[in-house]
Structure 1
């Protein structure tokens, strides 16, 4: 296999059969040593974070497969912190899609003059461009279309899938007394079929979850989910 990309939280390898291997790291995004799923820099390293993230990701991807929601997942090896996935093409240099159920993080920083922390939001979907130099700016449906990154019809598909997946994760976490405030997802096109599919991961490293009003760190979240 060949190393094709070294990311903040995982490395990407191309396998001989055309599939892709993701190697999960213990690095998580944040700033000044504080975890933040919306940050575009590595903030700290947490021992065991890679396996914890992979365990959660495997759990949710398998559940989504049962619901026939298209993803890139093939299988995983928790002990080796690896996940085998279908090859996918990202939109432009990559998009991130955030579904917000409560006002926290960058949403609160931008719109804090009009809302309070933790204020309910109706599964608000926000798309940002992956661009570290420009702080991952939000982008609208019309701009995505004008820049030929995504058609308006594809945007609607992206939004529908985001709400469907996020609501499922929210309801699943609720069975453990956990409340999902927001979640960051990534999508791409299946390299073989061109179908829009969920890629990357679904883990504590890309969501904010609270219990009784208290924020739950990613490793603690994984322990609570599988308790």
Structure 2
């Protein structure tokens, strides 16, 4: 087995040095966390499914002109991506009230919001990823005003497209999280591109007829049927791995 230099390990993925300069190998784990890492567990086959779902959605977004870090899928659990400077902001787009916004404003879960609401959270596990304003983002230098405008524009485009895509397979896109990064081109131009992943790990997806939850809320709330929900999303997208999400050992690493 090839030994690779590990760059970073997060809650759901491991990043390794890529085969060419400016690339990274992103490995999807089965580990699951919730409530800022207070709850931990394993969702069997999740890494395989999230790899395939992210590949599919990033390719679709690329077709409509949304720039992403995705290059190609390497195997069942790994994909090759462009190396980017991650902007330390999580962008959450909400279409239907659920989760923290329901608690903060006493809005019944499932209430259709008047319009899509975009929120920013500072990526810092030690602080619990606090909700921040545009003023915080620009004042503390996490992103410029121009970069934030581009992030907002891209986020709304992604929301419009994915809402329609999921509706076409009988799913409501309740809310979801995006992350963005900077990439510098040879001419010196710095571009904002979509990074990380889009999967049932960071999207709330409900069945349009029954409102059944088809995402990580099933893990958060001990509802059971977590693996089956992820598999159903992949099946509806038409990308369920043949024979189901088989296991694959993680790569040997060197620090």
Q: CA deviation at 1:40?
A: 4.5
- The aligned residue for residue 98 of structure 2 is 104
Larger radius of gyration, structure 1 or 2? 2
Q: Which segments of 5 or more consecutive residues in structure 2 lack a partner in the other structure?
A: 215-228, 241-255
Q: 2: distance between equivalents of 1:85 and 1:143?
A: 29
Give the conservation status (yes or no) of the 8 Å contact 1:2–1:14: yes
Q: 2: distance between equivalents of 1:5 and 1:191?
A: 21
> Of the candidates 154, 163, 174, which is equivalent to residue 156 of structure 2?
163
Give the conservation status (yes or no) of the 8 Å contact 1:204–1:219: no
With over 3 angstroms needed to count, the CA separation of the structure-2 counterparts of 1:86 and 1:128, relative to structure 1, is: same
- The aligned residue for residue 2 of structure 1 is 5
- The aligned residue for residue 230 of structure 2 is 218
- The aligned residue for residue 252 of structure 2 is none
Give the conservation status (yes or no) of the 8 Å contact 2:89–2:142: no
Q: 2: distance between equivalents of 1:136 and 1:147?
A: 15
Give the conservation status (yes or no) of the 8 Å contact 1:65–1:71: yes
3-state DSSP of counterpart to 1:203: coil
Q: CA deviation at 1:191?
A: 4.2
The answer as to 2:33 corresponding to 1:29 is: yes
Q: 2: distance between equivalents of 1:56 and 1:150?
A: 28
- The aligned residue for residue 120 of structure 2 is 127
Aligned positions, number: 215
- The aligned residue for residue 51 of structure 1 is 48
With over 3 angstroms needed to count, the CA separation of the structure-2 counterparts of 1:185 and 1:137, relative to structure 1, is: same
Q: CA deviation at 1:165?
A: 0.6
- TM-score, scaled to structure 1: 0.89
Q: 2: distance between equivalents of 1:221 and 1:179?
A: 11
Q: 2: distance between equivalents of 1:219 and 1:134?
A: 33
With over 3 angstroms needed to count, the CA separation of the structure-2 counterparts of 1:127 and 1:167, relative to structure 1, is: same
Q: 2: distance between equivalents of 1:42 and 1:87?
A: 30
Q: State the Cα deviation string for residues 135-176 of structure 1 (Å, max 9, x = none).
A: 110111111111011112211111111111122111101111
- The aligned residue for residue 152 of structure 1 is 145
- The aligned residue for residue 118 of structure 1 is 110
CA RMSD of aligned residues (A): 1.6
> Of the candidates 12, 30, 34, which is equivalent to residue 15 of structure 2?
12
Q: Which segments of 5 or more consecutive residues in structure 1 lack a partner in the other structure?
A: 32-38
3-state DSSP of counterpart to 1:205: coil
Q: CA deviation at 1:97?
A: 0.6
- The aligned residue for residue 133 of structure 2 is 140
- TM-score, scaled to structure 2: 0.80
